[in-house]
Structure 1
Amino acid sequence: MMKVFHAGYDIISTPDIHRGRKNADFGQGFYLSDSYEFSSRWVRQKNGMDIIVNMYELDEEDLVIKRFDRDREWFSYVFSNRRAMPDSFEGTDMIIGPIANDTIYNTMGMITSGYLSDDEAVELLCVGPLYRQIVLKTQNAADHLKFISYEKLSGDSIELNSKILRDEEEKYLKLFAEAMQRFL
């Protein structure tokens, strides 16, 4: 049993695997994280909206699971999904792997323009902190997810999370700029 989290603006006791974007890192599905801290920082504050962290237990037994590390296979899969190509892991119940950093669209543009090699792109996408995402791709996987509870984040928590996120982004941008200098 794994404890997992999904943050957003709604209480989601029954996830819909068809609701998400098809061009997300791991394609369409219901996205989770095994990190409460990361999940609570992932959602941007909107006026008049509460930030809700949904908590679940996930039974991985009997699921077909693909696990990725930050490597070329992961990069190729994310790159393909971000371009809405056919899912090469169709039929896989659940995918677990790193979250691509926020520069993926810029990095993809630099690859297609010939500015970066695939290896350089992988290096850029590996800059910054490593957070894992878990996506439930099939109804079978969603059926293995048990809603436990939810928490509405307080204003103090949201403010602290915003500060942590700003600090992480500042460190990330510095590391990204240093990596780019190596390619010039």
Structure 2
Amino acid sequence: MGKITLYHGSPDKIVVSTYSKGEEKHDYGRGFYLTESIDLAKEWAVCRPNESNGFVHRYELDTEGLEILDFQEKGVLAWLAELMKHRDAADSKRYRMLAGKFIAKYGVATDEYDVIKGWRANASYFYIAKEFVRDNIDMDILEELLSLGDSGIQYCIKSELAYSKLHEAADSLQTVEYT
């Protein structure tokens, strides 16, 4: 892979990516989230409801020597299990019990990876996950449903090594108008 260009959208003009920061309840858990899509980064920059402008920061990631987990290679069931580890699609007892079994069967151990790459989950994906666990969606059509929308691909920087290989490009800050 070599060096890749990634973007991070934020309401903040100054962003300091710091190892072990971030929210555990994001798609792939605690980490720093970026994307190859500048349009997706622009969406992230202004996704707060306060109607203020945001910023896109451009980064270079040197992937040499990094262990990268790509959920596009692992498949949709492994990806869905990872989402279930970090997010609650439903608060019912049945969902919690069945989600645990689903994670045990399809989940991937992610602790040894420096970077996780995969689809970005939005609200519709959690609706699908909830309906799948309730047996309202058959496994045969699950992947088709999840591939209907283009949710975008995101990267989650997880390890100290990966953070050390991520550098913001000088003079690359872009302002994103809320409108």
In structure 1, what is the Cα distance between the partners aligned to 2:51 and 2:151? 31
Cα distance, 1:46 vs. partner? 4.0
Moved more, 108-117 or 134-143: 108-117
Cα distance, 1:140 vs. partner? 1.2
User: Is 1:64 matched with 2:67?
Assistant: yes
Q: What aligned pairs does 1:91-130 form with structure 2 within 5 A after superposition?
A: 91-130=112-151
Q: What aligned pairs does 1:167-182 form with structure 2 within 5 A after superposition?
A: none
Cα distance, 1:44 vs. partner? 1.6
Counterpart AA for 2:79? W
TM-score for the superposition, normalised by structure 2: 0.74
Cα distance, 1:118 vs. partner? 3.6
In structure 1, what is the Cα distance between the partners aligned to 2:51 and 2:79? 37
User: Is 1:144 matched with 2:165?
Assistant: yes
In structure 2, what is the Cα distance between the partners aligned to 1:152 and 1:80? 34
Q: 1:63 to 1:10 in 2, by over 3 A?
A: same
Partner of residue 86 from structure 2, selected from 81, 95, 107: 81
CA-based RMSD: 2.5
In structure 2, what is the Cα distance between the partners aligned to 1:111 and 1:138? 32
Partner of residue 22 from structure 1, selected from 14, 21, 24: 24
Cα distance, 1:15 vs. partner? 0.3
Cα distance, 1:96 vs. partner? 1.1
2:68–2:117 CA contact under 8 A, matched in 1: yes
Counterpart AA for 1:41? E
Provide structure 1 residue ranges, at least 5 long, that are not aligned to the other structure: 160-184
Moved more, 52-61 or 115-124: 115-124
In structure 1, what is the Cα distance between the partners aligned to 2:35 and 2:132? 29
Figure out how many residues of one structure are paired with residues of the other and give that number: 156
In structure 1, what is the Cα distance between the partners aligned to 2:167 and 2:13? 13
Give % identity: 26
In structure 2, what is the Cα distance between the partners aligned to 1:106 and 1:95? 23
Cα distance, 1:144 vs. partner? 0.6
Cα distance, 1:89 vs. partner? 0.6
Bigger relative contact order, structure 1 or 2 (CA pairs below 8 A, ≥6 apart): 2
Aligned to 1:171: none
In structure 2, what is the Cα distance between the partners aligned to 1:49 and 1:103? 25
Q: Secondary structure at the match of 1:105?
A: helix
